[in-house]
């Protein structure tokens, strides 16, 4: 890892706080009128019949390379399916209605797109994020038409989906979840040390009473935290959890490259990181934020009772705390376990 990349990774928790906390707190206040059920209610429901296992669907590029939804449908998997917001459209288009969807990013405009954004056609902010992103490339072309189709899909299936929704999301995301008929289960983000006298997290908790949950820095990790700590799943497979870009991805196509060039000019390349995955024998490219996501995820997994299987079949999420396997093998093992019971 080059010095510039290390400098950024080492500061990523502070940079993320600087980027997100102000917007998150503003959103918490705006979401106040909508807060009725919380993840405490969801945990109580789950305790009555806890899932043996869960599959968490992140929105990494392997989702579209490996198509885990086809395998899940084919196997008749009966455990809990928890999707990150960015994977919701992919799931629904491919015929899988996830029981849960998790959302947390406080961005005022972008996140709503994952649910189908009714304001897209009237918004003129020139944001090209969805044309550049690899989380759901399908939404990056014929944007208006596909957005309209997604609105319809989410509205059709919303009543069957439980949203595990962070109080930090923008109000347009809340409204989309509500109007599509989803049941909302709220949580506050843990943004600082609750033992400090002026803790912001503690203030948010007092404001709305919702439990505070570790985010892991990104929605995929939050979905995993919800599966293990709220739903109580003991065995969790994660798919689409790459935290990186496939071999051969040009640096210009990476998520933060535009910002890196703005900040560092010709040195932008030094901020990117290459990681050799020994399970795949491939080299994947990542940026400081994604690398930080990987590190935080491994820390979380090491502290959880649940066993985590990385079934992404791509990316850089490997280490002692995570068992590397294929989704096919995970599903076959679950079927065999069910047959025994």
Please identify which residue in 48, 124, 206, 341 interacts with other proteins, judged by CB under 8 A: 206
**293 contact partners, CB below 8 Å, separation of at least 6:** 216, 217, 218, 220, 221, 243
**192 is a contact residue toward other proteins (CB under 8 A):** yes
34: buried, middle or exposed (CB in 10 Å: 19+, 13-18, 0-12)? middle
For other proteins, which is the closer residue by CB, 15 or 149?
Answer: 15
Report the residue from 144, 195, 248, 336 that binds other proteins according to the rule CB under 8 A: 195
We find the least distance from the C-beta atom of residue 315 to other proteins, in angstroms, to be 16
Site for other proteins in 277-316 (CB under 8 A): 287-289, 292-293, 296, 299-300, 303-304
Quick check: 37 and 162 in contact, CB under 8 A? no
40 makes contact with other proteins (CB under 8 A):
yes
Using CB under 8 A as the binding rule, whether residue 211 contacts other proteins is answered as yes
| Angle (CA) 76 77 82, round 5° | 135
Residue span binding other proteins (CB under 8 A) among the ranges 116-124, 127-135, 170-178, 185-193: 185-193
Q: Choose, by CB under 8 A, the member of 58, 61, 116, 189 that binds other proteins.
A: 189
Tokens at 234, concatenated? 């003991």
- CA-closest candidate to residue 313, choices 296, 327, 294, 295: 327
Neighbours of 47 (CB within 10 A): 10
Report which of 117, 89, 116 is spatially closest to residue 101, judged by C-alpha positions: 89
Q: Which stretch binds other proteins (CB under 8 A): 48-56, 127-135, 258-266, 309-317?
A: 258-266
Q: Which is nearer to other proteins, 69 or 191 (CB)?
A: 191
Span from 19-27, 63-71, 273-281, 330-338 in contact with other proteins (CB under 8 A) = 19-27
Looking at 67-75, 93-101, 256-264, 278-286, which segment touches other proteins (CB under 8 A)? 256-264
Give 34 or 256: the residue with its C-beta nearer to other proteins: 256
Near other proteins in 41-100, by CB under 8 A: none
Only one of the segments 50-58, 87-95, 216-224, 330-338 lies at the binding site for other proteins (rule: CB under 8 A); that segment is 216-224
Which residues does 308 contact at the CB level (< 8 Å), separation at least 6?
Answer: 224, 228, 236, 237, 238, 301, 321, 322, 323
Task: Pull the structure tokens for residue 241.
Answer: 């959890």
Residues 194/212, Cβ–Cβ less than 8 Å? yes
Task: Find, among 292, 316, 314, 317, the residue nearest to 5 by Cα.
Answer: 292
> Residue 79 or residue 189: which is nearer to other proteins going by CB?
189
Kindly state the smallest distance separating residue 107's Cβ from other proteins, in Å. 8
Q: Which of 120, 15, 92 is nearest to 7 (CA)?
A: 15
Dihedral in degrees, nearest 10, Cα atoms 67, 72, 74, 80:
-160
- Regarding 145 and contact with other proteins (CB under 8 A), the answer is no
Region binding other proteins by CB under 8 A among candidate stretches 114-122, 174-182, 219-227, 319-327: 219-227
Query: Could you give the string, one character per residue 96-125, with x where binding to other proteins holds by CB under 8 A and - elsewhere?
Result: --------xxx-------------------
- Cα separation, 25 vs 15, in Å, equals 16
Q: Where along the sequence are the contacts to other proteins (CB under 8 A)?
A: 8, 11-21, 24, 39-40, 104-106, 166, 168, 187, 189-195, 201-202, 205-206, 209, 211-219, 221, 225, 228-230, 256, 259-260, 263, 271, 287-289, 292-293, 296, 299-300, 303-304
């Amino acid at each position: 890892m080059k010095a510039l990349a290390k400098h950024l990774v080492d500061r990523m928790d502070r940079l993320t706080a600087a980027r997100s906390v102000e917007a998150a707190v503003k959103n918490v206040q705006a979401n106040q009128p909508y807060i009725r059920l919380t993840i405490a209610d969801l945990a109580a429901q789950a305790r009555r019949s806890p899932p043996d296992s869960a599959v968490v669907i992140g929105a990494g590029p392997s989702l579209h390379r490996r198509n885990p939804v086809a395998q899940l449908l084919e196997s008749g998997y009966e455990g809990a399916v928890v999707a990150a917001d960015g994977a919701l459209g992919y799931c629904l288009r491919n015929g899988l209605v996830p029981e849960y969807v998790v959302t947390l990013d406080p961005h005022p405009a972008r996140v709503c797109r994952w649910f189908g954004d009714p304001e897209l056609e009237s918004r003129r902010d020139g944001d090209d994020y969805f044309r550049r992103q690899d989380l759901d490339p399908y939404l990056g072309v014929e944007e208006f038409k596909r957005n309209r189709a997604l609105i319809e899909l989410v509205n059709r299936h919303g009543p069957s989906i439980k949203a595990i929704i962070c109080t930090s999301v923008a109000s347009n995301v809340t409204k989309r979840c509500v109007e599509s008929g989803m049941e909302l289960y709220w949580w506050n983000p843990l943004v600082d040390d609750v033992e400090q006298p002026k803790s912001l997290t503690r203030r948010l908790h007092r404001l709305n009473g919702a439990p505070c949950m570790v985010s892991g820095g990104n929605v995929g990790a939050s979905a995993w935290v919800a599966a293990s700590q709220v739903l109580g799943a003991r065995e969790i497979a994660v798919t689409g959890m790459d935290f990186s870009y496939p071999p051969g991805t040009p640096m210009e196509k990476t998520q933060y490259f535009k910002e890196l060039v703005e900040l560092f000019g010709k040195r932008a390349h030094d901020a990117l990181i290459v990681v050799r995955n020994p399970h795949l024998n491939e080299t994947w490219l990542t940026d400081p934020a994604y690398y930080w996501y990987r590190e935080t995820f491994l820390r979380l997994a090491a502290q959880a009772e649940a066993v985590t299987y990385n079934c992404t079949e791509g990316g850089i999420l490997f280490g002692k705390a995570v068992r590397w396997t294929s989704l096919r093998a995970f599903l076959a093992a679950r079927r065999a376990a069910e047959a025994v019971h």
